[in-house]
Amino acid sequence: MVVKSAEFITSIANAKDLSNFDILPQFAFVGRSNVGKSSLLNALVQRNKLAKTSSTPGRTRLLNIFEVNKKIHFVDLPGYGFAKASKSEQQNWQHLIGDYFENSKQLKHVFVLVDCRHKPSEKDEQMLKYLYIYQIPFTIIATKIDKLSKNELRNNLNMLASSLGIGVANIIAVSSSKKIGMEKVWQVIDEKIEQV
C-alpha cells in the first residue's frame, strides 16, 4: 500500500466507545512499554510525528486510533509491563486491551511487538495465549534489530521463536529508525485487506 494520507483520529479510554469508529478494518499494535510501537507506526506511514514517541515508557495509556488512506485504522494499544504504573492503572490498561479485543468488530490482525534484544516477558507470553484463546490472528514483530550484529540477530530471532513457540519465518524483524522490514509489515496488512 502506498501511504497517501495518515492522521490521528481519537483516543479512547473505554473500548465501548469504539463502536463509533468500528467502520474500517483495524490493525492493532501491542507490546511492552518502550518496545517501539509509536516509532514503528511513524515509520510505516513515513511521518515522524504522527504517533507521539517518548523516552519515558508507559506514555500510551489509551486506545489511539489513526486513519491511513481513509481505508484502514491503526490502533495503538497501551504498553504493558510498565513498572512505575500503579497496579490499578496496569489493571485498567489490561481491561481496556481485553475489552477492545473482545468487542471490536473490525479487528483484522494484531501485531505483537517484542524487543529483539531480550527474551520475551511473561506478559508477552500471556498476550499470545490470549490471542490464541480468542482466535485472533497475529504476527510477531521483533523491533530494534539495528542494535544487534547479524549473528546476534540470527541467534536472538531463534531464541524468540523458541520462547514463543512459533517458527522464525513467522517473525518480522524491523528497525524503525533504518526503515527495515516495513514492506513486510505492509504485505501482511495488504493480504488481510484483500480478505475483507
Q: Which amino acid is at 165?
A: G
User: Residue 88 — pLDDT band, cuts 50, 70, 90?
Assistant: low
Give residue 125's pLDDT.
92
| Mean pLDDT to the nearest integer, 97-108 | 88
Q: Does some domain include residue 56?
A: yes
Q: Does some domain include residue 122?
A: yes
DSSP class of 121: P
Residue 150 belongs to a domain with what CATH number?
3.40.50.300
pLDDT digits (tens, 9 = 90+) for 19-30: 788 889 999 999
Give residue 191's pLDDT.
95
Q: Does some domain include residue 1?
A: no
The residue range of the domain holding 101 is 6-195
pLDDT digits (tens, 9 = 90+) for 105-163: 899 999 999 999 999 999 899 999 989 988 999 999 999 999 999 999 999 999 999 99
Q: Does some domain include residue 28?
A: yes
Kind plus residue range of the DSSP H or E element containing 65: strand 63-68
pLDDT digits (tens, 9 = 90+) for 38-54: 999 999 999 887 887 64
Q: Does some domain include residue 173?
A: yes
C-alpha neighbours within 13 Å on the C-beta side of residue 160: 28
pLDDT digits (tens, 9 = 90+) for 51-66: 876 444 444 568 899 9
- Please list the residues that pair with 173 across neighbouring strands: 142
136 vs 150: CA distance, rounded Å: 32
Question: What total number of domains does the chain contain?
Answer: 1
First to last CA, the chain: 15
The three cell numbers locating residue 6? 495518515
pLDDT digits (tens, 9 = 90+) for 152-175: 999 999 999 999 999 999 999 999
Q: How much is the mean pLDDT over the chain?
A: 88
Q: Does some domain include residue 100?
A: yes
The three cell numbers locating residue 138? 497475529
Positive or negative CA dihedral for 120, 136, 26, 2?
Answer: positive
**Is 70's pLDDT higher than 80?**
yes
